[in-house]
């Protein structure tokens, strides 16, 4: 059975007091037994939030990025070794904002994924196409290429520690809207790619999350699609009531 996952990406929001308050609300909440909640927390709050939520066994903590090297003279960076030493189980890699704003290439992300896995981290690996690619009708090939370059050489055992998140970049902040059917279409394609590359077992067991503006109003319909196993949620994860409603939308 694939895991049902509600992952919240806090991005660069919340001051320390706000982060602690939000983490405490989730720590004290009742999470459905069949749902895994992952909180993508800014680096500076990781350990504090992990300690607060430790008693709630349905909640896991994720970093939002990590380096491809274990150590070195890389001022301002955070390595997978550092995350491992703090017992942070997850890291988000390949987010569209990292690709766009920090020029992270599929080739670099291949190294980051390898370094994270080698240090025992689980990876939420993001893929997705921008508006021009979608309008040109090349979106499936574009996403396949992202997957091919960055993760195709992983082993079946490696894939046990990979969660895929599909981001329709073209529908985020552009005025365009992605339908649940379009989400399903891309998730089905990604699962087909996993089947072709890694075999039926990996394709069947890998959770694929939708990262396109999931809200309480659309979560139930999106999560109801056959190949959608949850969401990588941005803005709505910053509000306890909104994200808790999403968590209960499966």
Catalytic residues: 95, 167
Residue 233 · residue 214 · CB < 8 Å:
yes
Rounded Cα gap, residues 186 and 184, in angstroms:
5
Contact, 46 vs 61, CB < 8 A?
Answer: yes
Instruction: State how far Cα 246 lies from the chain centre.
Output: 15
**Residue whose entry in the numeric block shows the structure tokens 């993760």:** 151
91 Cβ partners below 8 Å, 6+ apart? Answer: 62, 63, 64, 65, 66, 80, 83, 116, 121, 122, 123, 124
């Amino acid at each position: 059975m694939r895991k049902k996952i509600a992952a919240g990406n806090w991005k660069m929001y919340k001051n320390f007091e706000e982060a602690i308050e939000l983490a405490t609300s989730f720590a004290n909440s009742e999470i459905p037994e069949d749902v895994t909640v992952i909180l993508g927390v800014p680096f500076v709050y990781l350990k504090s939030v992990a300690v607060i939520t430790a008693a709630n066994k349905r909640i896991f903590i994720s970093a939002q990025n990590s380096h491809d090297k274990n150590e070195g003279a890389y001022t301002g960076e955070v390595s997978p070794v550092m995350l491992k030493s703090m017992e942070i189980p997850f890291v988000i890699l390949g987010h569209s904002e990292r690709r766009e704003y920090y020029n992270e290439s599929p080739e670099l992300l291949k190294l980051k994924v390898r370094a994270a896995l080698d240090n025992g981290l689980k990876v939420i690996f993001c893929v997705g196409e921008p508006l021009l690619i979608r309008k040109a009708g090349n979106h499936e090939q574009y996403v396949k290429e992202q997957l091919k370059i960055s993760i195709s050489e992983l082993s079946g055992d490696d894939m046990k520690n990979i969660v895929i998140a599909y981001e329709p970049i073209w529908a985020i902040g552009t005025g365009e809207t992605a339908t649940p059917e379009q989400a399903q279409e891309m998730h089905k394609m990604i699962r087909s790619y996993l089947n072709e590359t890694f075999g039926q077992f990996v394709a069947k067991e890998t959770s694929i999350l939708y990262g396109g503006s999931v809200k309480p109003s659309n979560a139930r319909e999106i999560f109801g699609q056959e190949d959608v196993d949850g969401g990588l949620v941005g803005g709505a994860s910053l509000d306890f009531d909104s994200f808790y409603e999403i968590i209960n939308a499966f």
